[in-house]
Structure 1
Amino acid sequence: MGGCSVLGRFWGVWRRRPGVRAVPTAPGFGTEAGHRLRPRGSSKRSRPLGGQPFPGLLQLENLSREELVDVLRAAVVDQKGKPGELTLFSVLPELSQSLGLGDQELQVVQASGKETSGLVLLSSCPQTASRLQKFFIYSRRAQKPTATYCAVTDGIPATSEGKIQAALKLEHIDGVDLVIPVKSPSRKDFQEGVKRTLSHFHVVAMGSGCALVQLQPLTVFPSQLQVHMVLQLCPVLGDHTYSARVGTVLGQRFLLPAESTKPQRQVPDEALLRRLYLTPSQAAQLPLHLHLHCLHLPGMRPGEAPMKLLAPLPSYFSRTLQCLGLHQQ
């Protein structure tokens, strides 16, 4: 299997070895079997941010096309074998030329959501891309997870691990595409676009009313993991789209009607703001703490052992873990 690249969507330290390629995009891509999840950078106590942006958050609006290509090329760790909008897709031709691939076109094989950090898998070989797509489809049908995400949640799940199942649909509300849960869907609902979704979750650490959670989606649907955590009454930190669906009365959380709850900036309580050293205005810019940490892939050639690709955490994510005292056990 050749012509494959992996992109990591954050700033980080990249290790090189023969194999696949990795690069970052906003807001934030490494490979090494057995690499453990741990905060990067200084072990000193985190300090207030002041007027500085969140560390490690790539600001696309401050980059030119050439600078973005340089960022992506510099983040390559491994290699084997809308018009005018500045996005990863828009600069793939320049990135292909910059990596010396000639006329070979890069295509996205696997990627997380727009605001999610972590791995992005690219390929310059149509046969490799096709094989990987078939692998992901087969794994989903066999309910074998291929992706592991890390999330910091505002709230702690009621159980330490389990499954989240929900029927979801995509609905255009007030000019915005939003994911809506559907209770007791009918056959007609499924014919009209409602999908059954499933995710595994495991609480790695908890503290300060928050949790570090590993999430493994077994289905593919827009914003699936964010909505699943909202259904657990534990929205992902920095989720400024769906967290408003969780209401609180006398310290008890409950779900508000999704259809009538408009997206709004997440507002952590005062105690959490103090632990994070954030002002309310800074909290309004808090990045989504959802990170595609690990991808499982088949061997590069028939008979070879499967691969595990790992992306270290963005520095803003690591800082949050340090502030909240959340560490992998």
Structure 2
Amino acid sequence: MRTNLTREMCGCRILDPLWAGWWRGSGACAARRVGGFGAEARHQSHPRDSSKRSRSLGNQPFPGLLQPENLSREELIDVLRASVLDQKGKPGELTLFSVLPELSQSLGLGEQELQVVQACGKETSGLVLLSSCPQTASRLQKFFAHSRRAQRPTATYWAVTDGVPATSEGKVQAALKLDHVDGIDLVVPLKSPSRKHILEGVKRTLSYFRVVATGSGCALVQLQPLTVFPSQLQVHMVLQLCPVLGDHRYSARVGTVLGQRFLLPAESTKPQRQVLDEALLRRLCLTPSQVAQLPLHLHLHRLHFPGPRPRDAPIELLAPLPSYFSRTLQCLGLHQR
């Protein structure tokens, strides 16, 4: 998996060899128990050269959204280093993985290599866990894998959807495969996968969802994946006929006739810019041309995992919403019940 660096990041040191941060945020928060999506950050960081990055924002309609071409490699390292708010231990296309060696050196870790323990998807904002200790990384990865097998969710996402799910809560199950079409990797659902399909890379996926708020024909949805597959949550919401706002890859699979939504064949539907109706554009204060830059409103909001010692209470991390995400909630009147 490759995570593009398209947002400002801040984070906090949680365990001795473990860091947590998030994309597209402006603060950091770590707590044993967390309630609601609107909790304020308890720490703020101000990376060097922040004025240079703030100037790049201009008057764009998506506050907090940085353009990757405006970041140099050195500026990216500065942002990442500034994201560590509490460090108690040893001190091409821009991606998190491509700069891990420099980040490790910048943090004074010497020969220790940083590893990605848990990360959000390429276009998704939210928490990212890094570790400089192979044993800690292995222990946590085993914990996440065991939790998935036991169908215990460890990650909670927030999404704004164009449309409201038919039920207030439920689960989405789908067999998904990854196809390479016209130079683009696309996830395609299969209705009745055979054993041969499963052996060829088709995966049975599962996500829980709960509608938190509705307004203006949209919804704020809590999502908890029980499996891991590229673009799983976006595709699952499309199967509910409610694509995630800013999904310019899969939203075209939802068609509308006389106000009724239906699924178009995934195999023959090419990705295109998401189409929003005029009323929704007015609520979001966007022009049709600005929709192409609308970021994906999918945010890895919360993670929980065991404490550093067996008797320690579980740790739960909360990532504040990016400013453009919060602005969208305000524009649509989506408030937590």
SS of equivalent residue, structure 2 residue 20: coil
The residue that corresponds to 1:151 in the other structure is: 159
User: Which letter maps to 1:235?
Assistant: P
Displacement of 1:85 after TM fit? 2.6
The residue that corresponds to 2:47 in the other structure is: none
The residue that corresponds to 1:281 in the other structure is: 289
Q: Cα gap change, 1:66/1:53 in structure 2, threshold over 3 Å: closer, same or farther?
A: farther
2:112 pairs with 1:113: no
Q: Which runs of 5+ in 2 are unaligned?
A: 42-56
The residue that corresponds to 1:215 in the other structure is: 223
The answer on whether the counterparts of 2:10 and 2:82 sit within 8 Å (CA) in structure 1 is no
The residue that corresponds to 2:38 in the other structure is: 38
Distance in structure 2 (CA, Å) of the matches to 1:79 and 1:232: 43
The residue that corresponds to 2:178 in the other structure is: 170
User: Which deviates more, 16-25 or 94-103?
Assistant: 16-25
Q: 2:21 aligns with which of 15, 23, 27?
A: 23
User: Which deviates more, 165-174 or 246-255?
Assistant: 165-174
SS of equivalent residue, structure 2 residue 30: coil
Distance in structure 1 (CA, Å) of the matches to 2:131 and 2:141: 11
The answer on whether the counterparts of 1:23 and 1:74 sit within 8 Å (CA) in structure 2 is no
The residue that corresponds to 1:253 in the other structure is: 261
Displacement of 1:113 after TM fit? 0.8
SS of equivalent residue, structure 1 residue 22: strand
User: Which letter maps to 1:22?
Assistant: A
User: Which letter maps to 1:290?
Assistant: L
User: Which letter maps to 1:101?
Assistant: L
SS of equivalent residue, structure 2 residue 189: strand
2:241 pairs with 1:243: no
Q: Cα gap change, 1:16/1:189 in structure 2, threshold over 3 Å: closer, same or farther?
A: closer
User: Which letter maps to 2:195?
Assistant: R
The answer on whether the counterparts of 1:145 and 1:216 sit within 8 Å (CA) in structure 2 is yes
Q: Deviations over 1:168-225 (max 9, x none)?
A: 0001111111000001111111111111000000000000000000000000000000
TM-score, reference length from structure 2: 0.87
User: Which letter maps to 1:37?
Assistant: F
The residue that corresponds to 1:310 in the other structure is: 318
SS of equivalent residue, structure 1 residue 130: helix
The answer on whether the counterparts of 1:12 and 1:315 sit within 8 Å (CA) in structure 2 is no
Identity of aligned residues (%): 78
Displacement of 1:232 after TM fit? 0.1
RMSD of equivalent CA atoms: 2.3
SS of equivalent residue, structure 1 residue 21: strand
Distance in structure 2 (CA, Å) of the matches to 1:197 and 1:216: 12
Q: Cα gap change, 1:78/1:291 in structure 2, threshold over 3 Å: closer, same or farther?
A: farther
2:81 pairs with 1:73: yes
The answer on whether the counterparts of 1:238 and 1:287 sit within 8 Å (CA) in structure 2 is yes
